[in-house]
Chains A and B, each alone.
Chain A
Amino acid sequence: MAEAPTNPVALAAESTVATRMSAPPSFDVADFPVPTGREEEWRFTPLERLRGLHDGSAAATAGGSVKAEVTTPEGSGVTVETVSRDDARVGKAGTPVDRVAAQAFSAVEKATVITVPAEAVLTEPVRVSVHGEGGVTFGHTVFRIGAFAEVVLVLDHTGDTVRAANVDFVVGDGAKVTVVSVQDWADTAVHCSQHNALVGRDATFKSVVVTFGGDVVRIHPRVTYAGPGGEAELYGLYFTDGGQHQEHRLLVDHSAPNCRSNVAYKGALQGADAHAVWIGDVVIQAAATGTDTYELNRNLVLTDGARVDSVPNLEIETGEIAGAGHASATGRFEDEQLFYLMARGIPEEEARRLVVRGFFAELIQQIGVPDVEERLIAKLTAELERSIA
Chain B
Amino acid sequence: MATLEIRDLHVSVEAEGGPTEILRGVDLTVKQGETHAIMGPNGSGKSTLAYSLAGHPKYTVTGGTVTLDGEDVLEMSVDERARAGVFLAMQYPVEVPGVSVSNFLRTSATAVRGEAPKLRTWVKEVKEAMARLEMDPAFAERNVNEGFSGGEKKRHEILQLELLKPKIAILDETDSGLDIDALRIVSEGVNRVRANGESGTLLITHYTRILRYINPDHVHVFAGGRIVESGGPELADKLEAEGYEAYTKGGGVS
- Check if A and B associate: yes
Known pairs A354-B99, A354-B107; A347 contacts B94 (CB<8 A):
no
Known pairs A342-B82, A344-B112, A344-B160; A358 contacts B77 (CB<8 A):
no
Known pairs A344-B164, A345-B111, A347-B111; A337 contacts B78 (CB<8 A):
no
Q: Is the beta-carbon distance between B79 and A346 smaller than 8 angstroms?
A: yes
Known pairs A344-B164, A346-B111, A348-B79; A339 contacts B96 (CB<8 A):
no
Q: Is the beta-carbon distance between B97 and A345 smaller than 8 angstroms?
A: no
How would residues 35 to 57 of chain B score, 1 for a CB under 8 Å from any chain A CB and 0 otherwise?
A: 00000000000000000001111
Q: Which of A342, A350, A354, A361 has the most C-beta atoms of chain B within 10 angstroms of its own C-beta?
A: A342
Q: How far is the CA of A345 from the CA of B111 in the complex (A)?
A: 5
Chain B residues closer than 8 Å to A346, beta-carbon distance: 79, 82, 107-108, 111
Known pairs A339-B57, A339-B78; A359 contacts B111 (CB<8 A):
no
Q: How far is the CA of A346 from the CA of B116 in the complex (A)?
A: 12
- Least distance between B57 CB and chain A CB atoms (Å): 7
Question: CB of B203 within 8 A of chain A?
Answer: no
Chain B residues closer than 8 Å to A238, beta-carbon distance: none
Which B residues, 162 to 212, have Cβ-Cβ distances below 8 Å to chain A?
A: 164
Chain A residues closer than 8 Å to B56, beta-carbon distance: 339
Chain A residues closer than 8 Å to B96, beta-carbon distance: 337, 340-341, 354-355, 358
* Interface residues on chain B, size class: 20 to 34
Which A residues, 256 to 293, have Cβ-Cβ distances below 8 Å to chain B?
A: none
- Least distance between A229 CB and chain B CB atoms (Å): 32
Q: When A and B form their complex, which 3 residue pairs have the shortest distance between CB atoms, in order from nearest?
A: A358-B98, A361-B98, A345-B111
**19 A/B residue pairs, CB under 8 Å, sorted by A:** A337-B94, A337-B95, A339-B54, A339-B94, A340-B96, A343-B54, A343-B55, A343-B78, A343-B79, A343-B87, A344-B82, A344-B111, A344-B160, A345-B79, A345-B83, A346-B82, A346-B108, A347-B111, A348-B79
Binding site for B on A (CB under 8 A): 334-337, 339-348, 350-351, 354-355, 357-362
Q: A336-B94, A344-B112, A346-B82 are in contact. List 13 more A-B contacts (CB 8 A).
A: A342-B77, A343-B90, A345-B82, A345-B83, A345-B111, A345-B164, A348-B77, A354-B96, A354-B99, A358-B97, A358-B98, A358-B99, A359-B98
